[in-house]
Amino acid sequence: MRFVFSFLFVALSVSALAQSNHLVVMGGGGEPKGSPSTIFDAELASIGAFAKSNPHWQSSVIFDGGHAQTEAIVSQHFGRFNSAGQTFSGKNFEALIALYERRLNSGEIKSGDKLLIHINSHGALRNAKGEETHRISTSDAAITNLQTLGGVTVPLDRLKQLTELAAKKGVKLGIVDLSCHSGSTLNLANANTCVISATGPEHYSFGGGATFSAKFNQAMAKGKSLEEVFLTARSNYGDTSFPMISTPQGRDVQSRIYELLTPYLYYFDPQSDKHTKYLEQEVQSKNTCAPQEDLKELVTLVEELLKTVGGADTQRELQYFKTAVTNYFNYLAKTREEMRSAGFPQAMERVSFCTNLKSPINRRGARTRECTEYRVKDLLALDINRVQAHFRDMSRRSKGEEAMIAQAIVSNLDQARKKKDELLRQNPRLARVADFWKQNPNRRQETFALAAHVSKSHQRLFEKLYRQSPATGPNPCRDFVL
């Protein structure tokens, strides 16, 4: 009898204290209307498959809204899609976060429980003015730009309070952000919260096929820690992202190589171009040795590592990385040289033309000068005769302030013409600047191939540095077991 009571007591205690697991899946925003699917479908299906085969995880989903195929995937894996409550709108995002805050506060989700937030939407670059993380697209509108997004977004800073509550209540929190520029989300990590991102703060992420996002979701399995899932996916993926993790080892390696590798993971793409902007900034930089110094630091890192690691495969892959990054460096150095020959640093400078102070514009009672400012490359593209004729005509047709301003612009364009002639006389090659980027029709393929080689080969470097990292401290990614 005593045994029976003891058994019952233990069984009841275990039941009362049983840990619960909670999965929140959100994203799929910013996609254009008109198509039945979204670019997030493959990853939605794979996280859905995880949820379906692990019913001990209680799921909540707000995803997309307005794309029949995507909604069907939600229905298939998470139960019937309810568009009012499950569309990934700003309103539903706020309601869901508030709900989980209440569940933590009330003790419904308690110490020892796990909460995994899985995010997959379009992600913006972090705005350094006031944002700790970055914004992601909701389904309220389509994006217009892959870097700043446009459309309608929500801030992942909104999760900050949840991370603090989880730490206070002893709830294990995991945040997986598979969106573009998601490296900024690592700023939500703390001793209790594990954050994993599909890429760095300056890079795009990708989905489907053999991408990191696809591999990560596929590697999620009962009994594996988030750190194990991350390392498995990160050791063999095929895209040009830079996945990150908030463990002490991850932070150590990322701080050593991410910035150095950044330009070598860019490639030219007409709609989402980071490569051209990087080169245009670089070519204006006073420190022309910086790329060479960064390459040297990377190569030294690899050579030091080569002395300590064994295995023919590893040695070969590290050597391959050295070759891949040097090849891309040489390509960029050659392009910079061609840009300089074409007058590029000068083409990015600004020139300003202003009316004479002796003949100010009377603007709403104030006497001001009318100034017109252009980048040199825009001045070179300016059809001055045609534009000047337009403003001359405007000055004749209009009256008062508008006529004065139009006349002032005509005068500024006279100065602009002189400047343009002078610039072309001093450097006739400037005339080619406007067409510089159009001269190589293979730029997209060439830069993509170079970036893909660097990305593929750096994976072994990351893994080895991670395993050797001396960094220590709390590791909530290791403690978060699926």
Partner 1 sequence: MLWLIFTALAHASCGVYEFKGTPRIVGDQLLLVIAENSRSERIFTTDATEQAKLAPFLDREVQGEFQLTGVQSPKEASASEFVALEDSEHDPLNPHYQSYLRLKEVRPCP
Binding site for partner 1 (CB under 8 A): 32-34, 141-142, 144-145, 148, 150-151, 270-271, 273, 370, 372, 374, 378-379, 381-383, 386-387, 390-391, 393-394, 397, 402, 405-406, 409, 412
Whose CA is closest to 420, among 385, 381, 386, 380?
Answer: 380
Q: With respect to partner 1, which residue has the nearer C-beta, 358 or 386?
A: 386
**Identity at 450, one-letter amino acid code:** L
- DSSP lists the bridge partners of residue 114 as 21, 172
| Helix %, strand %, coil % of the chain (to 5) | 55, 15, 30
Q: How far is the CB of 350 from partner 1 (least distance, A)?
A: 12
* Other CB atoms within 10 Å distance of the CB of residue 54: 15
Locate 304 and state its tokens.
Answer: 């030091």
> Shortest distance, CB of residue 20 to partner 1, whole angstroms?
41
CB of 375 to partner 1, least distance (A): 8
Closest approach, Cβ 390 to partner 1, in A, equals: 6
> Does residue 165 contact residue 101 with C-beta atoms inside 8 Å?
yes
Give, in order, the Cα–Cα distances in Å from 449 to each of 212, 325, 426: 18, 12, 38
Query: Strand, coil or helix: what is 481?
Result: strand
Measured from the CB of residue 86, what is the shortest distance to partner 1 in angstroms?
A: 22
Q: Are 86 and 62 in contact (CB under 8 A)?
A: yes
With respect to partner 1, which residue has the nearer C-beta, 42 or 382? 382
Minimum Å gap between C-beta 370 and partner 1 is 7
| Between 173 and 410, CB nearer to partner 1 | 410
Q: How near is the Cβ of 140 to partner 1 at its closest, in Å? A: 11
103 vs 419, beta carbon nearer partner 1: 419
Select 316 or 396, whichever has its Cβ closest to partner 1. 396
Q: Which is nearer to partner 1, 78 or 268 (CB)?
A: 268
158 or 390: CB nearest partner 1: 390
**Pairing between β-strand 21-27 and β-strand 114-120 as defined by DSSP bridges:** parallel
Q: How far is CA 435 from CA 75, 344, 361, 438, in A?
A: 50, 11, 37, 5
Torsions phi, psi of 422, nearest 5?
Answer: -65, -45
CB 298 to partner 1: min, Å: 31
Q: Collect all residues with Cβ–Cβ distance below 8 Å to 45 and sequence separation of at least 6.
A: 73, 76, 77
Which DSSP category does 472 fall into? Answer: -
Contact 186, 127 (CB under 8 A): no
